[in-house]
Amino acid sequence: MAEEREIFILTQEGYDNIKRQLAELEAVEKTERAQFADAVNDKAGGDDDDSDVAVEYDARIRKERTEEKIGHLRFILERAEIYRDINPDRIDVGERVTLWDFDDENVIQFDVVSSAEVTTRVDVNSSVKDASDASPIGQALLGKAVGDIVEVETPDGIMRYAVRKIEPIP
């Protein structure tokens, strides 16, 4: 039986953001690889004091963390699909949603993004919050239409919202 492949739905902005982060990390990796080689070469010179061991250890850890991040970003990009608005009348990943908050009696906005994308987004507009499709609010919003009432269970109780507007994330 064929193995199911995990797919990450990303906005174009999210995809571009992850590609940029990957390029930056790959540049950092080259520098860290050189620093690690220098630390190993210095140690091979015969000087085995504790500070050299610590420098080598720190270089190794930084290098491994960077490689992990690079691997994770490549994994996402290899499995990414760019969001296409199939049904503009229903909330899906890649859309900005305007809601009426019944408790606070005000309007709030969420950008619904994939869980892979939410950690890579830059907060350019602090008045719009991100909602991962894996979060309680994101899951509650998916598939809803203008006029629908959305209830979300939170640690503070059940929050109620009315969907006022759905539009693509600019």
Q: How far is the C-alpha of 162 from the C-alpha of 100, rounded, in Å?
A: 5
- Residue 68's identity, in one-letter code, is E
pLDDT tens-digit map of 82-137:
877 667 789 988 889 999 999 999 999 999 988 888 777 766 556 888 888 889 99
Task: Give the helix/strand (H/E) hosting 160.
Answer: strand 157-168
CATH number of 8-82: 1.10.287.180
The pLDDT confidence band at residue 7, using thresholds 50, 70 and 90, is confident
Please state which CATH class domain 95-168 belongs to: alpha beta
The model carries a pTM of: 0.64
Domain boundaries for CATH 3.10.50.30 within the chain = 95-168
Q: What is the CA radius of gyration of the chain?
A: 22
pLDDT tens-digit map of 33-84:
776 676 666 665 555 566 667 777 887 888 888 899 999 999 989 988 887 7
Which residue, among 103, 81, 107, has the nearest Cα to 93 in the 3D structure?
A: 81
What is the reported pLDDT for 52?
67
The Cα-based distances of 115 to 11, 31, 120, 121, 131 in angstroms read 12, 30, 10, 11, 8
Which residue, among 77, 79, 94, 85, has the nearest Cα to 16 in the 3D structure?
A: 77
Domain boundaries for CATH 1.10.287.180 within the chain = 8-82
